Structure 1
Amino acid sequence: MKLPANLEQQLVEDIGSFSLDPLAFVLYAFPWGCEGTDLADATGPREWQADTLRSIGERLRKGYQPKEVLMPVLQSIASGHGIGKSALVSMLVAWAMATCPDTKVVITANTEPQLRTKTFPEISKWFRLLICSHWFKVHGMSIHSSMPGHEKTWRADAVTWSETNLEAFAGLHNIGRRILLIFDEASGIIDRVWEVAEGALTDEGTEIVWCAFGNPTQPTGRFFECFNRQRTRWQGRHIDSRTVEGTNKRLFDEWSETYGEDSDFMRVRVRGLFPKSGSMQFIGTEVVREARTREVNALLTDALVMGVDVARYGDDQSVIFFRKGRDARLIPPIILRGVDTMTLAARVADEAQRYGADGVFIDGGGVGAGVVDRCRQMNVRGLVEVQFGGKADRANYDVHAERYRNKRAEMWGTMRAWLKTGAIPDLDDLETDLTGPWYFFDESNQIKLERKEDMKKRGMASPDIGDALALTFAYPVMPTANARGPWRQPARQEAYDPWAALKQQTYDPWAD
């Protein structure tokens, strides 16, 4: 839409007057309350959005006061679901680009799908509503000025990060102009990205606004530090979803009743608080200790399941674990060190045949693939390959149930529930394995377990025995004719009766 020259000049002057006032810009530049638009039922941004915009403007204006230095504005928002983070990101991008020529904007998120399917489509929608939308050209993952010659200097880009490609953040220099850096789903962005970005935001006399948004899924890392060790630098806010207009309060009340008001589920998904320190442990110590001493009786008809965790490194161990219903101590786990894949496969085949296993779940990642292939050649009955990093695919129809990032987290979650009534061997190493892994929520609020590599970095051993037990929960195993394992009853045999044949004959007194 091209405006008459006089109106265009008035628009330029109006927009320019909001250079240091993001809230006033947002109220002016979008069609609040206009019929036929997405904002027909809104009179302005939500209260928390307005407060954030107001805070950014106040700190920018302070940098232009006499004897003051223009310092970077650092804003962090930790929140629950549904509060309108993406909408605020969109407002900030529109304000930054519209009110300062040759502004550089970089938006990143924890994953590329987050940027492509959620964050940037929302930004594009708001730019279509913008009163000066004709000043910009919107593409799939970028926006730039429509003014000739400014396509590369006046733009916003959605950028994915990787540990080996950080150039987009190292090149954030725009002396004398403006830089806006947005971290969406900031809990999942690694520390190295934060460090490189911070080192680049050093231009003197430059308006620098750095905003980090996200659910507080991890009680470690730079996003966590924004509210703790670095809270004097960052303006941090926790937003409870229940305090925000337009959110589903009834659903949040149900969650509170189901999980408990102070549960990590509620803290992360609703209250905008980080998980409690000390509650990062996925399986509680008391639960495991009770399972070590609990007496249970497995049913003869319960399926016998084997889990096989395959060692990947020199100090790791391969483990074969057995479980029959609620009893995981009936057959002691087999722990092997220094065996090659062929030897391990032969041992798995022997044990499966010896005990009549109904299901054999083998970790097929890395070198485990060789064990799986060899066991298939030997026709091991009930063999299933399991990829720890694969999709969590057990059927679950409970809409309030916990959701898992991958297959490993799902198996551990199923095992955690089983431990409340199950029995495990009285082994210190097994207890250490089960209670050692930490857990976090990812950007989609799915539970993910700490990686083995990360456990080793903090001095923990690889939980090989725990993973082997968890593998027995990969999928349900239905009892079969062989489900009694080595304890199955032999087929009943009738006592031998030498007169049986004669007894079956009919006596005829008139026969010759």
Structure 2
Amino acid sequence: MLWPKLIWNPWLEKQIQSLCENQWLVWSGCGASGKTYAAALYSMIYFLAAPLHTSIILTSTTAKMIRKRAWPVIQELHRTCKGGYPAHMVDSKTTLQAVRGDDKHAIFAIPVLDGATSKAVANIQGIRSARTMVIVDEATDTPEAAFEACSNLQKGTSEFKLLAIGNPHSKFDQHGRFATPKNGWSSVSIEDEEWETERGLCVRFDGMKSPNMLAGKTKYDFLINEDQVRQAQKYDGEDSPKFWKYTRGMWAPEGVCKTVLSESLVEKYRAMQSAPFVRSSKMIAGLDPAFGGGDRCVIQLGRYGDFENGKLGIVLDFNRIIDIDAQSSDPVHFQIAAQVRSICEENNVKPENLAIDATGEGGGLCDILAKTWSPAIQRVEFGGRASERPVSPEDHRKSCDVYANKVTELWFSVRQWVINEQLRGMPADVVVEFCSRMFDDAKRMTIIERKVDMKARTGKSPDLADAVALVVEMARRLGGYATATANKRGESSWDKLVLQYNSIYDN
């Protein structure tokens, strides 16, 4: 036996067996279920079967997380293998080579969120052997481009395996999409521990059914135990998203928490699908600036015009994260301004059709764009008071009487455009952000979760969604509105009302 001190347990056996029997595999589970350990163990065994014909790619979000999660397991198994593990460790590269200097046949640990994702994708695409295996750890936070690059490695191989690992977060992130049941989410329940997917199998590890829980005592110190489950029940609550994610290892059901959008709304109103225009359309854009602190500076483009359903609508185009060159002599604000102007001009977005968050430092960026490009850009104060515009043609209450602040009005405008089938082409990562931001309507006015609180809770800032909210606000300033009924050509009383309230932006 290669590792005499290895402690087997029912979950580890199930994990290894599922890897032996499946080419495309998803593991979804609670915290402390041994997923990363089992994946690393299998990779060491798989590699040893034919090291000179094998490449194994182990991805995680950052280099720090690789060294915290999977790589220490690889190091430990390499060090403790009985008789010595026949491979060359290059710790500085987080690589275990078949022979010294072999940069093709090896176990590679690659971060996919450090620096440019495109660089990580290029690194992944350059690795391929007759036997290729990919382990995507923290799949919930893995960029789509990196996930696709991993999947595409199957081409040209004689043997291929892909395993995606994660604590379930959203059915629309990469982990959730890969785990989608073959017969749809309605075909599985909290009692299911595995199901067929379009490509293979999803295996779920439920903390309520851990080997320690079933044994009635803690037999395995490294697995979730009864005390930890009871603590989670007491302090998180069984109806909390955190409990579902880290204890049940299952995607939370609809209604567990109030979020601006839900997965069922997105599916029902086809927000991720495109839609044709019946007349000419115009390009509009929204910019959510960022100047550090881990937030992303995002510009989102969209096309605005008449849909076939008789309503004014938006089809989202591409978004782009504005990169800052730390070596440049140009100040950050001027770098952003130059890139934004270039993107807009290349895609026929006029300055008067660009909405920008002017809160805080965003105001200074707007001043630069106004001087270097055009004063016609549209400034939006996220931190201000909600407007006096009616909530919708069907709800004549003033927005400032319904929403506690401007950012709540902006985000709920997106919700209205979605449920009236006027917002299409929403990317999966944007959907995840809208389905993650919580709101409170228990008091007189509705208010969404503060950005800093969402970032602390989810680990991410909703910058992509903010940029989309600005695109919708731009459409509203052009006279668009969310409505359940089709538009009629010609000026209506509603058109006059829109012009009246929009006139404040012309001053």
| TM-score of the pair, normalised by structure 1 | 0.49
Larger Rg: 1
| TM-score of the pair, normalised by structure 2 | 0.49
